[in-house]
Amino acid sequence: MIKEGDLVRFVGDARFYKGRIGVVCRLYSTHGISLNGVVNNDSALVYYAGAEKAGRSLQPEVKSGLHPMGLDEIEVIDR
């Protein structure tokens, strides 16, 4: 299970992110889906150093470097 602060590797299909390593900054649900009152996160905002203003980066004008990723596109490297 992925949690905030985890070091992750991109394992999806997008070429830009292949082999990139980042840190999960926030987990969220794209559709607000909940089960028994508990929100089931299916996405993460991941910080990739050096990828500010590139790829799926949010708010490129402020160089946030946060990239929205599906949890199926990333894997935890080490705990």
Is the full-model pTM beyond 0.85? no
Say whether pLDDT at 20 is over 80.
yes
Map out the domains of the chain as residue ranges: 7-78
DSSP 3-state helix, strand, coil percentages of the chain (rounded to 5)? 10, 40, 50
Q: What is the pLDDT of residue 57?
A: 73
Tally of CA atoms within 13 A in the half-sphere of 7 that contains its CB: 6
- How far, in Å, CA of 31 to CA of 33, rounded? 5
- Give the range among 7-21, 31-45, 52-66 with minimum mean pLDDT: 52-66
In which residue are the tokens 């596109």 written?
A: 73
3-state secondary structure at position 69: strand
Structure tokens at 27: 């987990």
